[in-house]
Amino acid sequence: MQFVNGDDVHRLLDYPSLMDAFEAAHRNEPPRIERALLEPPPGTRPSGEGFLVLPTWAPGRAFGVKMATLLPDNAARSDPLPSVQAIYQLFDGETGMPSMTIEGTALTLRKTAADSGLGARLLAREDAETMLMIGAGALAPHLITAHRAARSSIRRILIWNRTPARCKEVLEQLEVSNCQTEIVENLNTAVTEADVISAATMAMEPLILGADLKPGTHVDLVGGYTPTMREADNETMRRARIFVNYTGSTVGLVGDLMLPMADGVITEDDVLGDLFNLCQKNVVGRQNADDITVYKNGGGGHLDLFTAEHLARCLAEM
């Protein structure tokens, strides 16, 4: 059995090839996916904490399970750590034998960013030039890199965070060429300028206001993984063509959809499809240049399995 550390995960999983692997995998039927989230009793721990277990089974091909801790306060430590810490175990699909143990934090960063990148590849305008990154956590540099891999037309990157100093840390991690980067203080103004917006925060109240969105904007919502968390307001959802990465990990589970549904702004029918539908061409994504598109990235164990399988292929080819 192999053990793959985080450095090797980042080295082997470049975003163009990982997005290609995701797109190919989504042309097939979804594997069997389960999800168990253990949360602390109300009021005993900060909101958003939990222990997540994601088993996935692609019959005859592979089994896999990710175990992840969700601790939002990690980012505020004197020695900051990612909010998500994880390990992934891959099993052989025929014998059931353990085949590979993977450092799951790196795997999660890569699969989450590639998921959003594929969403942008399928939904964002091909001439998108300005990207706004909302949030400066561990995911931010990966989301920026994945979106630039999806849309090489991006030539300007704006970064906003409640604590501006964190934005400098993101810029230091980026390897960008032929691209202007800028830390912004006024979020609403930045939203009006952006062609692509990616948000990865722990927000409980909307940060993206639909009234500020210009026609043609693509909005990627990565945070907001509980029913009470959200990053975009009702007007954003009302104006947009809405897609999700996977219906089973989003509809009825995340605040960015549940809260506007509860307010009567949208219904489940307004969620037009997920990556399986888009990659199989069962639904139409962007219809014209002025469409506002929203892509809710809700994760899912199938993406971890797809990432682990792609990593195994990369190692076999070395």
For the chain, domains (ranges, CATH) are 2-107+302-316 (3.30.1780.10), 112-299 (3.40.50.720)
State the amino acid at position 50 in one-letter form. Answer: G
Among residues 178, 182, 116, the alpha carbon closest in space to that of 152 is found at: 178
Q: Would you write out the chain's pLDDT as a tens digit for each of its 318 residues?
A: 899 999 999 999 999 999 999 999 999 999 999 988 898 888 777 677 889 899 999 998 999 999 999 888 887 889 988 788 999 999 999 999 999 999 999 999 999 999 999 999 999 999 999 999 999 998 999 999 999 999 999 999 999 999 998 999 999 899 777 899 999 999 999 999 999 999 999 899 999 999 999 999 999 999 998 899 999 999 999 999 999 999 999 999 999 999 999 999 999 999 999 999 999 999 999 999 999 999 999 999 999 999 999 999 999 998
Q: Against a cut of 0.95, is the pTM above it?
A: no
For the beta carbon of residue 19, count every other beta carbon within 10 angstroms: 23
